[in-house]
Homo-oligomer: A and B are copies of this chain.
Amino acid sequence: MDKAQILVASNRGPVSFSIDDDGGLRHRRGGGGLVSGLSSAAAQADTLWVCAALSDADRQAAARAPEGRLDRAGFDVGGTSVRMLDIPPATFANAYTSVANSTLWFVHHMLYDTPNKPGFGAGFRAEWADYRAYNAAFAEGLLTGSADNARVAVQDYHLALVPRMLRGRRPDLRISHFSHTPWAPPEYFRMLPADIGRELLEGMLGADHLGFLSRRWADAFLRCCETFLRADVDWAKRTVEYGSRVIGVAVHPLGADADGLRERAAADDVAERRAALRERVGDRRLIVRVDRTELSKNIVRGLDAYREMLRDHPEWHGRVTHLAFAYPSRGDVPEYREYTESVLRVAKEINEEFGTDSWTPLILEVNDDYPRSLAAYRLADVLLVNPIRDGMNLVAKEGPVLSDDGCALVLSTEAGAADELGAHALLVNPYDVSETARALHTALEMPDAERRERGAHLAEKATAVSPQRWFGDQLRALG
């Protein structure tokens, strides 16, 4: 008893805690594809979500719950059991910040300033040992919580070693791993120390089924298996044979949660912000972007493109506003702090070059305000999504779903979402500032009827695979 048939493992869980003014724990339930997906699975099976405590408040909550089981400590965690792992802070910092976010994230997004970084010296080996320990803690949590023949859905690059750790001890388990990031081509992946690169690939190949957000990332993974493991890849069947096992590799393009989004966007706080934004920008055309200030999101080149568009097309002066929401991210990594400074600098330059008493060409907001983002989606004439590399990009899918009157999407070819949305978007090379500038102009000029029609197609494609189906497909792939 009390063993789950369906388990999820991810760094971030479905609930997070904060400490309120009285020193009490307050908890907040999160959203996203996994939450929706697992909730619907919970109706039919015993489910367990294994996640890490991410803050001091999380740690307090985990410590208060027997064996970290939040559901047993009286917290409302949404119908599934949740085990929050209290991983020692130093171990967590090395595994999460140093290895996962400062190394694997950089490799898969090809973000390194290669002449200078990375350098894998003695320090990295210690961090890697902690990445292993962090993965082992998840594996342990999954092992103790899983019924015979349970299905385990492991999430993302933080937990690449978990499938193999489970496989070695519990051959009965049916294991999947899903990558929410891109995957690096072998020519880039090879910068990892050879043994560590192999350990990552072998770790994932401990699963029965591997999922990616785009065919391109799946192909890159398969090429890595060929190159570094000399594994046998069947390109027609999309399988890898390794260690006398056959592992399936498939693409599951997560869609936007249409119902949840529309419900949230209909709330009063969104309506208020929508009215305030409309008041602020008047009847000007609106170009919207919403991103974490993340190196891969390419905010600076996006601003450069807006500037080039304003230089080339003075007819838009006074008639367009660019709303750029760039909320803070990873302030603990120096490259991110420097990048944020670049964003602020270029934004200032643009308003100095073009701004007038009656027109602010660019409104940059760096605080995170989710209902304001939804309001902006509703009002956008043009949505700019130009990452240099992105697993999928949910903004590109959510924006068209919420648009009041249809929006044109200027979309990077390097976002996984371009696979589904490319036919109805204006695709751009994210490094090509001039092309992006031209696309912004084309999008602004687009006749209303065309914009509405494209917007409708985008919304349809964006919601083709609901989070429930996305998660269910991964489970079904496990039989």
Contacts and interface: CB of A to CB of B under 8 A. Distances in A.
Interface in A424-479: 429, 431-435, 437
Nearest to A338: B116
Contacts of A120: 429, 431-435
A300 interface: yes
Given A121-B433, A431-B118, A187 B110 contact: yes
Of A121, A296, A308, A434, chain B has the most CB atoms within 10 Å of the CB of A121
B304 A435 contact: no
A375 to B, nearest CB: 29
A125 interface: yes
Contacts of A192: 431
Given A110-B188, A114-B110, A304-B121, A435 B193 contact: yes
Contacts of A429: 120, 190-191, 193-194
Interface in A175-193: 185, 187-188, 190-193
A191 B431 contact: yes
Contacts of A311: 122
A75 interface: no
A156 to B, nearest CB: 21
Interface in A202-226: 220
A191 B308 CA distance: 19
Interface residues of A, number: 44
Contacts of A113: 112-114, 116
Given A114-B112, A119-B304, A434 B193 contact: yes
A116 B194 contact: no
A356 interface: no
A353 interface: no
A314 to B, nearest CB: 15
Interface in A95-117: 110-116
A136 to B, nearest CB: 22
Contacts of A190: 413, 429
A115 B190 CA distance: 20
A300 to B, nearest CB: 7
A185 B434 CA distance: 23
Given A429-B193, A435-B193, A301 B110 contact: no
A388 interface: yes
A295 interface: yes
Interface in A297-341: 298, 300-301, 304, 308, 311-312, 335, 339
Interface of A: 110-116, 118-122, 124-125, 185, 187-188, 190-194, 220, 295-296, 298, 300-301, 304, 308, 311-312, 335, 339, 342, 388, 413, 429, 431-435, 437
6 contacts: A115-B388, A119-B431, A190-B429, A191-B388, A193-B431, A194-B435
